[in-house]
Amino acid sequence: MGFSPELVDKLIKEHGDEDSDSLLETLLTYSVSDIDLSMMSMESDINFIS
């Protein structure tokens, strides 16, 4: 799994690079949010087709 370099840069600028655990937690949170949004979009498309 990879993270967008732009997102990583943004988070480092906002939070610094001292707390790698916090950075990783935030990246994972963003990833889960993106997956949730993708799933909702797919469900919406399926409902529209049905």
- Cα 25 to chain center, whole Å? 10
CA atoms within 13 A on the CB side of 19: 10
Domain boundaries, the chain: 5-49
Q: What is the pLDDT of residue 7?
A: 85
- Give per-residue pLDDT as tens, 20-50: 898 888 888 887 666 544 555 555 555 555 4
Q: What is the pLDDT of residue 30?
A: 80
Cα 37 to Cα 3, 15, 41, 42, distances in angstroms: 17, 25, 6, 9
Q: What is the pLDDT of residue 46?
A: 52
Higher pLDDT, 41 or 15: 15
d(CA 29, CA 35): 10
Q: What is the pLDDT of residue 27?
A: 86
Whole-structure pTM value = 0.55
Which pair of structure tokens corresponds to residue 49?
């087709």
